[in-house]
Structure 1
């Protein structure tokens, strides 16, 4: 890009965990340093000597990799929502507004100065910045370069977004006009419920039950609906889904389309696949082992599993040596290792998302049934 007669190169790198947290399709993630340096070299070859790298790896990784980069002047860090700046400045800005009390005193969360000044592989200054999360800080870095494009200084001009500015009436009306047909669709009632289905995500330390750590009513409901749809389309006998894909509660009373969309906002499609009994055992063992990491699978009523969250207190003989799972039933029958089971899930999990490689392998197995129904 060109600004005020100066040319700047902007390149990007993304975490190698991308296939585990998203559905990138055929995209392959290359090495941070190798690809970053190669792309920076291409820009320098066409005369661009001020290069900014946008990173979705996380601040701790970025400050580690900075010394290995060549030709890069600035790293804009993201992914782990790191807050940078002096505690004094952060507290002074967040403490000046009464509209965001949760942010007051958060200077203690700072990971260091803004910008973090390091040295790249060329021996030149490289600046690393990060602007926290959810648009609450406007990251602004003022940089001076010498004639050859090397960084001289970097100054923090970031500002806390307090939300105290007056609304723009014209823009507010335009947003309302755009939202009107969306609201009409969101308000369509699709059912009623006598009970609530909590969608809390849960935490690991301290442990709080949620959709990413234990079986839940919401997870059962969504999986049951998936199984019902897949039974009609492909005669699936059970279903499961990733807890991380469930994003909101369903409260008792009338249930609207908008509420359902809030629970499942990602637009994933329904996959149906054949798994061997051994695949199912490996899958459920992997799920039980991800309780602490938030990768626990929710499942329909046709799929029942017993497992030990604490191996030291595990009684009985697990189905897999050293594993947590002690029993698995599908449609009321104990899983048989050589038997084929037709199960349903979503495209994210089917593609190996959250580290469930057994599903991706099953879909790639020659001659094995694996179909994207296209049902959202």
Structure 2
């Protein structure tokens, strides 16, 4: 019987690209220098060029090759705001992915956009703990009949698996996503998510029973959960993950810090992740033994800089720019000495398609000045000693404004802090900045009827969730900001009694919100689904209906009416005591 050589596999990977198709700005410290260089990294065109380099390299070595995406390609940029999943499907096809796992942001607007995406992509979408077996038969946008979806196999209680063969070796690839998807996204009720741990255990056992030992899990669970999975499941070779935006690799020489080494081995399983926003590319060479264990790995997460960045980058000593070509060349040479920096061209067919078919619409919004911001409007999720967010209450004001402009006499607005992404710098504020950075998540604003008790419990639940007060919360993005609604919160009071002095504004008068009173509120569709502590808002009697405008559209509409964007006065900005 002929001897089969050990499997050597080259893998490139990305995750959480969030529609960042173009290179992202970055400031790097220069090794052994006080100077910094401002340039751009990543982007789909550079990623494609570098992946093709590694693909060709593997071919020359007669090794197997895979290019994988660990989820969350939707949302996050102006390109998504304008072109939704269509642009993702087109450009991801052009990248030449072998497989992608489902991210939570793919489900922000329900199953429909995922169904459309599945119709357009040329690679499998791995969703091994997504049970679509009981999907309602009368839906116009179905999942269960999409051949590119690799879901949960309910009868076998395991994931559907992609099998690749390299030099006589079989490699299994399957994917799982966050178990509690309905808590942070909007999957349709007829397509629930099941336990990722049980799915992984059952799938690995099935593969081992079939004699397949080389197993790659493509995960959208987050780095800590990936490490836990590696510890709890025997027989996984590699986990390639996303969701937590973890940057593995030592970039401290460039001023980016050092969180984790590239490729952490946990209980015999190699765990990898490549940050986010298409800024980095992970590339690793793996050697497997006959038991599917990775006996050797070499590679890195790579910053991807432009070959011509000497022309486009700027050099600074921290106080002023250095306009010296020789100094800039020396800086580039210093970067080229780093083993986790790659230089490549930015031009190829992806670059051309973006420039021809999509960028003109983005440019129009970039030149569309909506209002003026006289000074920085700070955004922070949970208030600190300096106070709370200055921009989130304005987002709430905008939601209320848009509703009232459409004849909806809403009493107040409530929005979660995580739906607002950045502080707003002083100067002209463009539509592109609003839709691309401040409010990049394309989510509808809805109006609904709500009792005073529901409002009080929702505010308390959201804050408890944000600060882990008596519960294990899902993150500080749940912290509530409001318009025409104010309250006190005392974390030391018993559950159910932490909100007091709850009032809403009628013209120039503040009135108490009564538990038994019925009010009209506006929020994002995300919040009214009872996500992240807002459980009390999810009630069939609330008569939720769309206002007909998204978060970014609302803020643009509101800001156009204001010559200068100022913070909401302290007595109008939600919480009074926290």
TM-score, structure 1 normalization? 0.75
Cα 1:29–1:326 change in 2 (3 A) is same
Query: Deviation at 1:78?
Result: 3.1
Q: Given that residues 288 and 325 in structure 1 are in contact (C-alpha distance below 8 angstroms), is that contact kept between their aligned partners in structure 2?
A: no
Aligned-residue offset at 1:18: 3.3
Shift of residue 271, structure 1, vs aligned partner? 1.4
Superposition deviation, residue 335 in structure 1: 0.8
Displacement of 1:22 in angstroms is: 3.3
Check if 1:267 corresponds to 2:442. Answer: yes
Secondary structure of the residue aligned to 1:234 is coil
Return the alpha-carbon distance in structure 2 between the equivalents of residues 259 and 77 of structure 1. 30
Q: Distance in 2 between matches of 1:77 and 1:186?
A: 33
Q: Deviations along 1:310-365, whole A, 9 cap, x unmatched?
A: 64xxxxxx7x76743221112321011111111110011111222311112x2xx3
How far apart are residue 278 of structure 1 and its match?
0.7
Could you say which residue in structure 2 is the equivalent of 1:278?
Answer: 453
Query: 1:345 aligns to what?
Result: 523
Q: Which residue of 1 aligns with 2:271?
A: 128
In the TM superposition, 1:49-88 aligns within 5 A as 49-69=213-233, 71-84=235-248
Q: Does the aligned pair in 1 maintain the 2:452–2:514 contact within 8 Å?
A: yes
Tell me the SS of whatever aligns to 2:402: helix
Q: Secondary structure of the residue that 1:354 maps to in structure 2? A: coil
Q: Deviations over 1:265-294 (max 9, x none)?
A: 111001111111111111222244355334
Deviates more, 1:65-74 or 1:51-60: 65-74
2: CA distance, partners of 1:170 / 1:61: 37
User: C-alpha distance in 2, partners of 1:251/1:117?
Assistant: 42
CA distance in 1, matches of 2:495, 2:246: 40
Aligned to 1:315: none
Residue in 1 that maps onto 2:422: 248
Asked if structure 1 preserves the Cα contact closer than 8 Å seen for 2:459 and 2:534, the reply is no
Match runs of 1:249-328 below 5 Å: 249-261=423-435, 262-290=437-465, 292=467, 293-300=476-483, 302-308=484-490, 311=492, 323-328=497-502
CA 1:322–1:22: 2 relative to 1, 3 Å: closer
What is the distance in 1 between the residues matched to 2:248 and 2:366?
Answer: 38
Give matches, 1:111-260, under 5 Å.
114-119=263-268, 126-135=269-278, 137-146=280-289, 150-151=292-293, 153-161=295-303, 163=305, 165-170=343-348, 172=351, 174-177=353-356, 178-189=358-369, 191-193=370-372, 195-196=374-375, 198-201=377-380, 207=384, 214=388, 216-231=389-404, 232-260=406-434
Contact 1:131–1:137 (CA<8 Å) still a contact in 2?
yes
Cα root mean square deviation, aligned: 3.2
CA contact (8 A) 1:197 1:251 kept: yes
For the residues of structure 2 that align with 1:325 and 1:368, how far apart are their CA atoms? 21
Give the Cα–Cα distance (whole angstroms) in 2 for the partners of residues 192 and 63 of structure 1: 46
CA positional deviation for 1:102: 2.0
Once the two structures are superposed, residues 51-89 of structure 1 have per-residue CA deviations (whole angstroms, 9 ceiling, x without a partner) of 21122333333333324325532222333344556xxxx
Conserved 8 A contact 1:141-1:158 = yes
Structure 1 stretch displaced more, 341-350 or 6-15: 6-15
Structure 2 match to 1:98:
none
Distance in 1 (CA, whole Å) between partners of 2:398 and 2:465 is 24
Report if aligned partners of 1:135, 1:161 keep a CA contact under 8 Å in 2: no
Instruction: Find the residue that maps to 2:457 and give its secondary structure.
Output: helix
Any unmatched runs of 5+ in structure 2? Answer: 1-162, 307-342, 468-475, 551-578
1:130 touches 1:139 (CA, 8 Å); kept in 2? yes
Asked if 1 retains the 8 angstrom alpha-carbon contact of 2:178 and 2:220, the reply is yes
- 2:311 alignment partner in structure 1: none
**Does 1:2 find its partner at 2:2?**
no
Contact 2:419 2:477 in 1 (8 A): no
Contact 1:197–1:218 (Cα < 8 Å) also in 2: no
| TM-fit CA distance, 1:34 | 0.7
Structure 1 residues without counterparts, runs of 5 or longer = 96-100, 120-125, 312-317
